[in-house]
Amino acid sequence: MRIVVDEQLCKGHGVCMGEAPEVFSVTRKGELTVLQPRPGAALRAQVEAAVKYCPTGALSIEPGE
């Protein structure tokens, strides 16, 4: 899977970091870094939670490597 961020929608709430800290990092200023743009299957549940609970709907998952 590949993580896609809609930069226009992300506001830096950091919910994704709360859900999947190995994959997302968000500073207090709200700057998001995707630590693992193509996380392994073991992280799928966490990443799916991050996508689901993102308050601005800025995250999505694309299939593939």
Between 23 and 26, name the residue whose CB sits nearer to other proteins. 26
Q: Interface residues with other proteins (CB under 8 A)? A: 8-9, 11-15, 17-18, 26, 28-30, 45, 49, 53, 55-56
Report, in Å, the least distance between residue 15 CB and other proteins: 5
Between 28 and 65, name the residue whose CB sits nearer to other proteins. 28
d(CA 33, CA 27): 9
Residues linked to residue 20 through DSSP beta bridges, in sequence order: none
| Closest to 23 measured CA to CA, from 44, 7, 53, 6 | 44
